[in-house]
Structure 1
Amino acid sequence: MKNTAQYQSVDDPRNNADVQAWEEENRAFHRIILSPSNMPRLLRAIDDLHVVSARFLFSGWRAEWEAPTDRDHRAILNALRSGNVDIATAVLSRHVQWMGQKSSSGSAANSGNRS
């Protein structure tokens, strides 16, 4: 891995007590791991999905909102920061499969633990 410094700029979303700050860090996470692909159409599609996801998130927001744990995001960032692409890839693959299963089961309202 050539430059792990780019991954240092993303904060742990758990550090954000409010829903808007968490959503911004979540979006930054996805953007930073996808940007090196140099695939503009993919990046636009992901941006569009984040807009829809944010609308859903904000529509259900409550004053007692708590940041999701984002275990997979932390593991992916830690692996990228240490230059371990194999671990980052394995965790990302598991995360995508888990999110796909979750989406197909229709449990989008229960999105707190891994997104």
Structure 2
Amino acid sequence: MDAPARQKSSDVISAALTKRIVQGHLRPGDKLRQDHIAKEFGASHVPVREALLHLVGRGLAISLPRQGVRVAPLDPDAVKELKVMRLALEPVALRLSVPNLTESQIRRAEELRKICDNAEDVQTWEAANRGFHLATIAACDMPRLIGEIDNLQLLSARHFLQQSADRWRKREDLEHRAIMGAIRNRDPEGAVLVLQRHISRFG
């Protein structure tokens, strides 16, 4: 398998395992066996190993001596840390993004906002919610910042889905609507104020 094909295979495996871990189908402490994963995805051990390293790098898995790679534990203390980090980074990205968002990017954020409001289950809502917040910062022109925020939101989503999902109820998110209103008015400070309140309340 050449390098581009191997990378694509690794990305597919990583994305599938990430979804299972975040949604709780793979539980904390579950062993991620290279041979089983390779067989499931019809891949060699090289892209599987790369995918597992990616999960470790994102904090979704841990590598233990003589025990291999396992799903990372859920640390309740991490929730506060994730919120503090998101409050530090996401307003920066949103402030830079709002003046530069294209009409198509704004439409995409609005589509995701509506999916959130109309979601019938928490998994659909969570994926759209994460997509909405990433869509609003898409024009900040700082890919490393976006990557860090993406990972923080992913880790936050894992904690929410596995510890607080029973509190979720279908509803219209008025703060999402307010963020979109500020974006359309090209008001970065207004959008940031709502976002800060939103993260502080819900994470």
The amino acid across from 1:37 in the alignment is C
> How far did 1:84 drift?
1.2
Provide the aligned C-alpha RMSD in A: 2.5
Change (3 A) 1:98 1:40: same
Choose which of 154, 172, 185 in structure 2 pairs with 1:84: 185
Distance 2:193 2:121 in 1: 27
Aligned to 1:5: 104
Matching residue within 129, 132, 138 for 1:29: 132
Which runs of no fewer than 5 residues in structure 1 stay unpaired?
103-109
2: CA distance between counterparts of 1:19 and 1:91? Answer: 28
Shifted more, 12-21 versus 90-99: the winner is 90-99
For 2:193 and 2:128, the matched residues in 1 are separated by: 21
- In the TM superposition, residue 92 of structure 1 has moved relative to its aligned partner by 2.0
Alignment of 1:57-96 (within 5 A): 57-60=160-163, 61-62=165-166, 65-67=168-170, 69-80=172-183, 83-86=184-187, 89-96=188-195
Distance 2:102 2:148 in 1: 25
Greater shift in the superposed pair: 20-29 or 66-75:
66-75
Number of equivalences: 99
Aligned match of 1:107: none
Distance in 2 between residues matched to 1:95 and 1:68, nearest whole Å: 18
Point out where structure 2 has 5 or more consecutive residues left out of the alignment.
1-98
Larger Rg: 2
Higher relative contact order (CA 8 A, sep 6+): 1
Question: Could you tell me how far 1:69 is from its partner in structure 2?
Answer: 4.1
Distance between the aligned counterparts of 1:65 and 1:96, measured in 2?
19
Normalising by the residue count of structure 1, what TM-score does the alignment of the two structures yield?
0.69
Which residue is equivalent to 2:152?
Answer: 49
Distance 2:181 2:104 in 1: 12
Supply the AA of the counterpart residue of 1:7.
I
Identical amino acids, percent of aligned pairs: 31
Partner of 1:66, secondary structure, is: coil
SS in 2 for 1:85: coil
Verify the 8 A CA contact 1:72 1:92 in the aligned structure 2. no
Go from structure 1 to structure 2 and tell me whether the alpha carbon gap of 1:97 and 1:31 turns closer, same or farther (over 3 Å shift). closer
TM-score, with length taken from structure 2: 0.42
Letter of the structure 2 residue corresponding to residue 98 of structure 1: R
The answer as to whether partners of 2:126 and 2:157 remain within 8 angstroms in 1 is yes
For the Cα contact (< 8 Å) 2:137–2:146, is it kept in 1?
Answer: yes
